[in-house]
């Protein structure tokens, strides 16, 4: 690793740390105004130094491993001490800031170690900032979720994440069931010409089920976040890129539960437009 590369990575660490710190500082300032937080607790300078420390520590890993362990262990002790002290003073057991500190340190370390590509590290930093900045939105969304809605999300997770990955992505034909072919032949059905034609593929069939239910779930979530019409429109376009047919089936099912079907017809059109766009891309 040459000097230019080292300086570039250290500078990137400072920038990412400053971005995270800016979000935390604005949040801490809002708490200070409400007399709920510790004035000037953590901010741009602190997080910049944290990510910079992580990068330096990552660079030291290849040359001074014992020093790397010492710095990392000391940092962890400081974070735990900060959490215990802050919890005692503010009577708040939340760990968002402390986890952000650890995550920022890891981001800096990843930069120093060249563990991930720069694009992935920047994406992780953006996700971190996004999650922290949307605290009130996330809380509001969670409080509006009812038990049956949570059960629906769990059911979809089982469909898409538990069952689907384990189904064989293999085409089956009549040739895979010779006993069935013999039975059909005994009844005078000429099946030799179609014996190798694909009959079904378990993975693809269940994928359609996952898409149909996925459009329902995505549409429901977006409906609660950005509104009824926009939510279904965006969900339909996303579903159209995967399967416009399955998306249209899902919209048809939803239209039966609604007093008006105009919105779902428009959403189905958007789904098919998205499918055409995918073909040209």
- Is residue 173 classed as helix, strand or coil in its secondary structure? strand
- Is residue 200 classed as helix, strand or coil in its secondary structure? strand
pLDDT in tens, 172-199: 877 767 676 677 667 666 666 676 677 7
Domain ranges of the chain: 3-143, 147-280
CA distance 51 to 13: 5
CA distance 230 to 249: 19
pLDDT in tens, 206-218: 888 888 788 777 7
Rounded percentage of the chain residues whose pLDDT exceeds 90: 0
CA distance 45 to 104: 13
pLDDT in tens, 6-37: 788 888 888 988 888 888 777 666 665 554 54
Length of the chain: 281
Is 239 within 8 Å of 246 (Cβ atoms)?
A: yes
Q: Residue 118: pLDDT band by 50, 70, 90 thresholds? A: confident
pTM above 0.95, yes or no: no
pLDDT in tens, 219-235: 777 777 676 667 777 77
User: Range with the lowest mean pLDDT among 20-24, 100-104, 111-115, 197-201?
Assistant: 197-201
User: What DSSP string runs through 224-279?
Assistant: HHH-HHHHHHHHHHHHHHH-HHHHHHHHHHHHHTSS--HHHHHHHHHHHHHHHHHH
Helices (H) and strands (E) in the chain, counts: 12, 2
CA distance 186 to 201: 26
Q: For residue 60, is pLDDT > 80?
A: yes
CA distance 270 to 233: 7
């Amino acid at each position: 690793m040459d000097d230019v590369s080292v300086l570039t990575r250290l500078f990137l660490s400072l920038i990412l740390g400053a971005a995270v710190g800016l979000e935390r500082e604005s949040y801490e300032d809002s708490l200070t105004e409400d007399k709920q937080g510790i004035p000037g607790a953590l901010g741009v300078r602190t997080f910049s130094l944290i990510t910079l420390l992580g990068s330096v520590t990552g660079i030291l890993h290849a040359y001074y491993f014992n020093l790397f362990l010492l710095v990392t262990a000391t940092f962890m002790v400081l974070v735990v001490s900060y959490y215990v002290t802050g919890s005692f003073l503010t009577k708040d057991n939340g760990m968002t800031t402390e986890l952000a500190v650890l995550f920022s340190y890891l981001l800096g370390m990843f930069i120093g170690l060249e563990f991930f590509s720069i694009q992935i590290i920047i994406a992780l930093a953006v996700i971190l900032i996004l999650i922290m900045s949307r605290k009130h939105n996330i809380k509001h969304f969670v409080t509006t979720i009812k038990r049956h809605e949570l059960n629906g999300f769990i059911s979809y997770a089982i469909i898409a994440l538990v069952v689907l990955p384990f189904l064989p992505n293999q085409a089956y034909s009549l040739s895979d069931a010779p006993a069935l072919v013999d039975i059909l032949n005994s009844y005078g059905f000429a099946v030799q010409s179609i014996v190798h034609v694909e009959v079904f593929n378990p993975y693809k069939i269940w994928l359609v089920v996952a898409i149909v239910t996925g459009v329902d779930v995505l549409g429901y979530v977006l409906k609660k976040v950005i509104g009824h019409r926009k939510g279904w429109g965006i969900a339909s376009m996303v579903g159209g890129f995967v399967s416009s047919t399955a998306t249209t089936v899902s919209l048809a099912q939803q239209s039966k539960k609604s007093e008006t079907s105009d919105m779902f017809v428009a959403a189905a059109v958007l789904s098919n437009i998205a499918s055409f766009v995918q073909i040209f891309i």
